[in-house]
Amino acid sequence: MSVPSAGGPAPAAEPGRSAVPAVEGPSLQQLAELADSYGLGLGADELRSLQGLMAPYLASYTALQELAAQEAGPPGPLRRSWRPGPAENPLGAWAHRTEIPAAGSGALLGLRVAIKDNVAVAGVPMTNGSRVLDGYVPEADATVVGRIVGAGGSIRGTATCESFCLSGGSHTSDSGPVRNPHDPTRSSGGSSSGSAALVAAGEVDLAIGCDQGGSIRIPSAWCGVVGLKPTYGLVPYTGIFAIEMTLDHVGPMARTVADAARLLQVLAGPDGLDPRQAAASPGADYVAAAAGGAGGLRVGLLEEGFNPGGGADPQVLETVRRAARDLAAPGVTLETVSVPWHRHGADIWNAIAVEGVARFMIDGDATGTGWKGLYPEHLQQAYAQARVARARALPATAALYLLLGRHLYATTHGRHYARAQNLGRRLSAEYDRALATVDVLVMPTVSCTARPLPAPDSPIEEVVGRASESGSNTCPFNVTGHPAISVPCGTVRGLPVGMMLVGRRGDDATVLRAAGAVEALYPPPPLPWPPALGPSGPG
């Protein structure tokens, strides 16, 4: 690699505006400490020489500061928002309320939408479920937010999510638990906990969820709504707090398959800012597909998906099997298929998530390096400073990933992460092999109904254990990127059961078609909660 010279003087400051301060390099003492930490064994003369050689690089950094200041756009819109009180928020599902009207007319005209609290809504505070981000207000809308408003949707607020979205339960948010509308003593699932609860309660028609290991599908199953994790990269992740670049997905949650398809139609497609979308190929008519019926479908019951190990409820497994048999009308074939590697999916996901979260979301301040896309500088700086200043506020789930991930990277230098990513290719190929003979794979989204919420004083073992117990069927498809939807297919002891349907990458339309056929047999459950929960404003 050639050594560049400084690219000329920094641009002149605008009249009336002082130049940005110069970016300072390390002192000799700091250089010595850094060199020692890497075992370089450099002497004082060598350190002084290296310090001098840093000058042109630092000049470039200073020039970039001025360029960025000149490129900065106008501040984001001023939007009224408020934290709802208990009377307005009995489920704990709202993070902030707001009223952002539609900016156009289109497929979402007249529909009310909630946005998960890790998605940037300009002018509305974002917490990502944690006190760490208290005070952070995004300056610009995420791509999905702009597309919703432009298509006629009105945004009614941000939905509570789990602390740093590292939980499949609904008990880790610093604002308190999100309660299941079907039984407020039970979990609504996570990490898109508030999104699912608000849709199920009838507070909104649609919601945005994000999914790295099941965070759209688990709460959808437990709250009795529809939740789609689209094909990896189909929907842009721009403007959303990232966890791990290769696992990140964002998608629709809705009362009905038709509404989920309508929202996907608006959200899908490249924005030119998200490298996750390199292989995305939108263009299907998802709305028409959702109404296409089951005729001609080949459905495969995934044998390993019905044998998830301890904690499975036999009634839940049988409910999903019965719904699949009901789907097998004339013209629909139903068979059992086996993908033994499905049992290894959670192991592969664990290795990617543990080291990926530690290195990308925590050490990399949710931006990392090495990818071409829009870097959320405002969020990155706010989070980086707050993460250090409020480290004690990091949740136990984040502490677990951070400490284990750093240890593994320090001792094995990323070998296990690399191995998991490589084995993920084999896992993906095994699902592809099964999907060459059937159109969709079927299994329970979660093998039990919504679990009781842990007590506030539960030990850390229960808090973390309950956060990670529900994703054995869901997380493998975050590794492989296949589209997967949870659709209600019955109840057990009065609580919803979700069927998960998985399709070929890029074939989200067929997944929606199969889900629509299931919904025709098992209509959405009635609203379990009074639709009017309180006043429309802060009072």
pLDDT tens digits, 362-398: 999 999 999 999 999 999 999 999 999 999 999 999 9
Query: pLDDT confidence of 21, banded at 50, 70, 90?
Result: confident
* Average pLDDT taken over every residue of the chain: 92
Reply yes or no on whether the pLDDT at 481 is more than 50: yes
Give the pLDDT mean for 41-59.
95
Helix 44-53 to helix 55-71 angle (10° resolution) is: 30
The whole-number pLDDT of residue 397 equals: 94
Question: Do both 51 and 125 map to the same domain?
Answer: no
Give 277-320 pLDDT, tens digit per residue. 976 666 799 999 999 999 999 999 999 999 866 689 999 999 99
Q: Is 537 part of a structural domain of the chain?
A: no
Q: Is 510 part of a structural domain of the chain?
A: yes
Q: Is 145 part of a structural domain of the chain?
A: yes
The whole-number pLDDT of residue 529 equals: 66
Catalytic sites, residue numbers? 116, 191, 215
Give 324-354 pLDDT, tens digit per residue. 999 988 889 999 999 999 999 999 999 999 9
Question: Do both 89 and 160 map to the same domain?
Answer: yes
Containing 16, the helix (H) or strand (E) segment is none
Question: Do both 32 and 130 map to the same domain?
Answer: no
Question: Do both 127 and 263 map to the same domain?
Answer: yes
The whole-number pLDDT of residue 17 equals: 43
Q: Is 192 part of a structural domain of the chain?
A: yes
CA gap 398, 357 in Å, rounded: 8
Phi/psi at 189 (5° precision):
85, 165
3-state secondary structure of 353: helix
The whole-number pLDDT of residue 539 equals: 35
The whole-number pLDDT of residue 308 equals: 65
Reply yes or no on whether the pLDDT at 212 is more than 90: yes
Give the pLDDT mean for 14-35.
80
Question: Do both 50 and 89 map to the same domain?
Answer: no
Q: C-alpha 43: how far from its chain's center?
A: 47
Q: Is 527 part of a structural domain of the chain?
A: no
8 A C-beta contact, residue 402 and residue 359: no
The whole-number pLDDT of residue 363 equals: 94
3-state secondary structure of 309: coil
- Exposure of 204 by Cβ count < 10 A (0-12 exposed, 13-18 middle, 19+ buried)? buried
Question: Do both 36 and 167 map to the same domain?
Answer: no
What token pair was written down for 15? 């009249």
Q: Is 363 part of a structural domain of the chain?
A: yes
Cβ-Cβ contacts under 8 Å for 220 (sequence gap 6 or more): 189, 196, 209, 226, 227, 253, 445, 486, 498
Reply yes or no on whether the pLDDT at 533 is more than 50: no
Burial 440-452 (b: 16+ CB within 10 A, else e): bbbbbbbbbbbbe
Residue 424 is given by DSSP the state: H
Reply yes or no on whether the pLDDT at 75 is more than 50: yes
Q: Is 135 part of a structural domain of the chain?
A: yes
Supply the range of the domain harboring residue 285.
Answer: 81-521
Reply yes or no on whether the pLDDT at 129 is more than 90: yes
Residues β-bridged to residue 96: 158
The whole-number pLDDT of residue 101 equals: 96
Question: Do both 47 and 87 map to the same domain?
Answer: no
What token pair was written down for 159? 């939905």
Question: Do both 37 and 153 map to the same domain?
Answer: no
Cβ-Cβ contacts under 8 Å for 388 (sequence gap 6 or more): none
CA gap 389, 395 in Å, rounded: 14
The beta strands (E) that lie in 122-233 are given as 154-159, 179-180, 183-187, 206-211, 226-229
The whole-number pLDDT of residue 528 equals: 78
Cis peptide, bond prior to residue 447, ω within 30 of zero: no
Cβ-Cβ contacts under 8 Å for 519 (sequence gap 6 or more): 226, 256, 257, 487, 488
The candidate with the shortest Cα–Cα distance to 214, out of 498, 538, 527, is 498
Query: pLDDT confidence of 460, banded at 50, 70, 90?
Result: very high
The whole-number pLDDT of residue 18 equals: 47
- Check which CATH number belongs to the domain holding 191 and give it: 3.90.1300.10
The whole-number pLDDT of residue 283 equals: 73
Q: What percent of the chain has pLDDT over 70?
A: 93
Question: Do both 170 and 286 map to the same domain?
Answer: yes
Residue 22 is given by DSSP the state: P
CA gap 203, 212 in Å, rounded: 25
Residue 120 is given by DSSP the state: -
The whole-number pLDDT of residue 149 equals: 97
Question: Do both 31 and 101 map to the same domain?
Answer: no
Cβ-Cβ contacts under 8 Å for 207 (sequence gap 6 or more): 113, 114, 115, 116, 159, 192, 195, 196, 198, 199, 252, 253, 254
Give the pLDDT mean for 21-35.
94
Question: Do both 113 and 47 map to the same domain?
Answer: no
Q: Is 47 part of a structural domain of the chain?
A: yes
What single letter denotes the amino acid at residue 499? M
Question: Do both 158 and 52 map to the same domain?
Answer: no
Q: In what order do the strands lie in the sheet with 298-302?
A: 81-82, 94-100, 154-159, 112-116, 206-211, 249-254, 226-229, 484-492, 495-502, 440-444, 298-302, 333-337
CA gap 125, 138 in Å, rounded: 7
For the chain, the straight-line distance linking the first and the last C-alpha, in angstroms and rounded, comes to: 62
Helix 44-53 to helix 28-37 angle (10° resolution) is: 110
Cβ-Cβ contacts under 8 Å for 199 (sequence gap 6 or more): 114, 205, 206, 207, 223, 225, 253, 254, 255
The candidate with the shortest Cα–Cα distance to 284, out of 519, 487, 512, 502, is 512
Total count of domains within the chain: 2
Reply yes or no on whether the pLDDT at 323 is more than 70: yes
Give 214-249 pLDDT, tens digit per residue. 999 999 999 999 999 999 999 999 999 999 999 999
